[in-house]
Amino acid sequence: MPEEEPIIAELLEPTNSSATKEFNLILGGTLAISMIFLFLSALFGDALVNMVAEDKEASGVRVPVWERYTLPYETDGDFGVALEVGPYALLPTENEWNSTHHFVEYTLPIEEGGAAPNGLISLAVWLPDVPDGMQVPVIAESGPYFQEASVETPSIEVPGSWLGQMFIDQILPHGYAFAQISVSGTGRSNHCMDLMGNAEQLGNDAAVRWLAEQPWSNGAVALIGKSYDGSTPWQAAMFGSEHDYLKTIVPISGLIGVKELMWKNGSSEARAPIMHNGVYGSYGIDGDEEDYQNLCPDYIIGPGTGVSAYMFGSEVAGDYWAERYFLDRVLENYKGSVYLIQGMHDWNVDPHMAVPTINRLIDAGIEARGLFGQWDHDYPDRPVQLDDRSDLGGRGGEAFPEMIRFDWMQDMLEWFDYYLKGIGDQPGQWIEIQSNQGSWRIEDRYPPADANELVFELGADMINIAGTTTVLPDASSGPIWETEPLTEDMHIAGMPRVHVEVTTASLGGQLYALLEDCDNQSNCIHLGHAIMDLRYHAGGDDIQTWTPVVESINAKMEFFAMDAEVSAGHVLRLSLRSTGEDYLPASTSSVVFVEEGASSTLQLDTFEPADRRYFTPPVCTHERCLQAAL
């Protein structure tokens, strides 16, 4: 750093002091050792590099997460920077970005239409300048955004500004290749934009195999990315293989399934019916003679499946959704590890993609780690973006700037060193979870296994303070309940439930639940929300039936994952409406009558903070963080 230069100059100033002579001896010895290292490196190559790398922990840089705050992380920049600097430069190529472009051929089933059977995947590769014969692992990002007009990546050979450039600058110098992959129907990849369907899955698998089998590759591949690019790692992990090339995946706010993104308990997000063609349909269409390849069967039926799922229930869509559900096949086939990253206030890709997914991975014997902070749809180390997307009132603002993880890139380096090179100790197999008030702690599972359930009966433990028990389908009315002021602090973790006994005027209806933390001035902040199409009142994907007006049903609603601290003296407030957030009204609108009593309850999972390990990450000193502290 610039402020260190005068100190270095002073040390090198010639004097006759014994301290200076000792320094010169040390400096000379260091140079001699460096020359020996260079000679041995040229002689023994990769073996010596790995031997030295395995001793990195002796430097004191690789410490448990609860000790990282003591280390000199850069905490005033626009993103995280790894503490360790790699020895290798980027290998120059013929273009200004030092990348090479390749097409990967793979076989498409003839029923996929479009370009079948001749699939082509476009990808670009960046390599480190390493000694001859040294093989390196590959970290890749696969998605639809490379070389598309709607995104500022004019060519796939240009590093993505959101992630690729960081990895090329910081991780590649440690002896890693980096790759960018265009999924089918996007960029220069042929076929149609399949929206995470079979053609796209096969293309991702082919790209992973190609990267692993190159002569410069050590056969170990990782996939990382956010959002759509965080969904493709799940797709590739479904395949497994006798070679097990895919050693680890890092999904950041990615999808475990497409229907799971857009429907919750049968209720539909506003974007759901148009997601396939309306949102991604233009990708890959550029006016050339190959545009006919976009006329694939799934592309044609995409809008119809979205609308039919909204109108009649998702199961009428045949196998369209089953083809686009990844998690079960990952649990069955995948042999690698998972580093799962999720924003707890991400309502673009909701946190139920990660919770309780992390526990299902653990139960399947998959080595897994979680990083769950109170950010929106972004990376963990971006102070400007996370500040812009965090609002007070329970929308992440209360956890800013403590949410910023400037140690994330160091975390990535240690993770990849272990899982792609076998260097160092195994990273911690735990979940780092941040509460809505900013505190970080470690859990073995999430939701935690040792939580205590608190049950509040609506109409008794929670008193109706406003609204009738009738919920109209126009979202204009519904009951509001409150607890008595809490006598002690409450710590909520996981996925609370609200079960309500209801009757309906017709066969249908929908309920939206909002849980808030309110102080004694009735200033309330959002804690969490839940939604349910009453046709799915028992949970799961099967439509239920009942006799309206006469027969009551119990709607077993589950909140999206939350981690919240509620202070003593505050009250919990629960409101019911027919819809909320960005969800559509029910396609089967109905008046809903709520019955108070023992069958209508709010259920919270709580824990004692004294039983947990809390820690403080490196403290953000970016100007945004300093402003927030004022």
The residues, any chain, with a CB within 8 Å of residue 591's CB and separated by 6 or more, are 470, 471, 472, 473, 504, 505, 506, 509
- Any domain includes 266: no
Q: What is the mean pLDDT of residues 131-136?
A: 97
Residue 325 in any domain: the answer is: no
Asked if the structure places residue 470 within a domain, the reply is yes
Residue 381, in any domain of the structure: no
Look up the CATH number of the domain holding residue 464.
2.60.120.260
pLDDT computed for residue 264 by the predictor: 83
Q: Report strand pairing: 431-434 vs 452-458.
A: unpaired
- How much is the average pLDDT of 497-512? 96
Q: Does position 409 have pLDDT exceeding 50, yes or no?
A: yes
Domain hosting residue 590, numbered range: 452-606
Least confident of 185-189, 511-515, 522-526: 185-189
Lowest mean pLDDT among 292-296, 387-391, 584-588: 292-296
Give the span between the Cα atoms of 56 and 69, in whole angstroms: 19
Please determine, for residue 592, whether its predicted confidence score (pLDDT) is greater than 50. Answer: yes
Rg of the chain (C-alpha set) = 27
Mean pLDDT of 305-318: 64
Q: E strands, 446-591, where? A: 452-458, 463-466, 470-471, 480-482, 490-494, 497-504, 510-518, 524-533, 553-558, 562-566, 571-577
Whether residue 172 has pLDDT greater than 90: yes
Q: Is residue 528 part of a domain?
A: yes
Instruction: Tell me, yes or no, whether 165 lies in a domain.
Output: no
pLDDT for res 542: 81
pLDDT at site 298: 75
Overall average pLDDT of the 199-216 stretch:
97
Calculate the average pLDDT of the chain.
87
Mean pLDDT value of segment 252-276: 83
User: Is pLDDT at 305 greater than 60 in this prediction?
Assistant: yes
Across residues 295-305, what is the average pLDDT?
Answer: 71
Burial code (b: 16+ CB inside 10 Å, e: under 16) for 51-83 equals: eebeebeeeebbeebbebeeeebbbeeebbbbb
For 568-588, what is the mean pLDDT? 93
* pLDDT score recorded for residue 586: 86
| Residues 8-60 pLDDT 10s | 222 222 233 333 333 333 334 433 333 433 343 444 444 444 444 444 443 68
Residue 163 lies in a domain: no
Question: What is the tally of structural domains in the chain?
Answer: 1
- In 3D space, the residue among 383, 398, 415, 388 whose CA is nearest the CA of residue 344 turns out to be 398
The average pLDDT across 347-371 equals 96
Average pLDDT (524-550) is: 92
Quick one: pLDDT at residue 587?
Answer: 85
Three-state SS string over 47-64 comes to: HHHHHHHCCHHHHCCCCC
Q: What percent of the chain is predicted at pLDDT more than 90? A: 73
* pTM of the full structure: 0.89
The angle at the Cα of 328, spanning 536 to 360, to the nearest 5 degrees, equals 85
Would you report the helix, strand and coil content of the chain in percent, each value rounded to 5? Answer: 30, 25, 45
Q: What pLDDT band is residue 304 in, cutting at 50, 70 and 90?
A: low
Evaluate whether residue 335 is within a structural domain. Answer: no
